[in-house]
Chain A
Amino acid sequence: QQQVKQSPQSLIVQKGGISIINCAYENTAFDYFPWYQQFPGKGPALLIAIRPDVSEKKEGRFTISFNKSAKQFSLHIMDSQPGDSATYFCAASNDSSNTGKLIFGQGTTLQVKP
C-alpha cells in the first residue's frame, strides 16, 4: 500500500526525442506527487509536482500527466537534451497525515544521446 512503482528502470532517448517515465501507486490517501531529478554525486532536486485535482501540469519542457482513477502518473520530457541525462524519481506523500514523509519510486536512469 505504501509503495510507488516506477518504470522503466532505464531509458535511452535520442536528442530531441520525448522521454516518458511512469509511476503507479496504491494508497488513495496520497495527495501530493513530486518528481525529483538527481545528477551523479548530487542529492535529488525537486523538478515538478502535481496534486490529484489537476490532470496535467507543465513547466517548460517537463509535463506531469495524472490519472487519478488509474492511480498512475507520468513525467514527459519534451525535446530531451543531453543535459537531461540523470536519474529521475517519482514520489508520493499524504499531506493530511501531518508529516512530510515521501515514498519514492525506485528511479529511472535516463540517457539522452546527442
Chain B
Amino acid sequence: DSGVTQTPKHLITATGQRVTLRCSPRSGDLSVYWYQQSLDQGLQFLIQYYNGEERAKGNILERFSAQQFPDLHSELNLSSLELGDSALYFCASSVGDRANYGYTFGSGTRLTVV
C-alpha cells in the first residue's frame, strides 16, 4: 500500500456519461497530481494541485475538471465521456510542489467507456 488511495478501482460507463474519480493523498502530502495512462499515449500529465490551489495544467480536456478540497483529497470529474477516454487514471501525491520531492502514485482507476 503506497498510502495514496484511489477510488473506485474500476469503472465502466457509457458514452456521454459523467464520472468522478477520487484520490486521497499520502498523509502529510500537499500536492496532488492527476495523470492519464493509455497504451498509445503513455503517462500524460493532466493537472497539479498544491495545498488547495491549482498549480499546473497539462493538456486536460475542457470536459475534464478537478479540484482539491480543504482536507487535501482531490476529485477528477470527467464528463460527456467518449470511447477515447478509456484509460488508467493515476493520482500521485508529494509533500512539496516540485517533482524532486518524489511522487507516490496510487494504484489507479481503470475507466472503460462503452
Contact = CB atoms under 8 A, between A and B. Distances in A.
Interface of A: 32, 34, 36, 41-46, 49, 51, 89, 91, 93, 95, 97-107
B21 interface: no
Interface in B66-114: 90, 92, 94, 96-108
B12 interface: no
Given A43-B90, A89-B42, A104-B43, A99 B100 contact: no
A43 B2 contact: yes
Contacts of B2: 43, 45
B64 interface: no
A7 B50 CA distance: 32
Q: Which among A41, A95, A97, A101 has the greatest number of chain B C-beta atoms within 10 A?
A: A101
A30 to B, nearest CB: 10
Q: How large is the interface on B (under 10, 10 to 19, 20 to 34, 35 or more residues)?
A: 20 to 34
B98 A100 contact: yes
A102 B45 contact: yes
Contacts of A45: 2, 104-105
A32 B42 contact: no
Contacts of A103: 45
A48 to B, nearest CB: 11
A43 B96 CA distance: 20
Contacts of A41: 107
B102 A98 contact: no
Contact of B100 (A36, A42, A95, A107): A95
A40 to B, nearest CB: 11
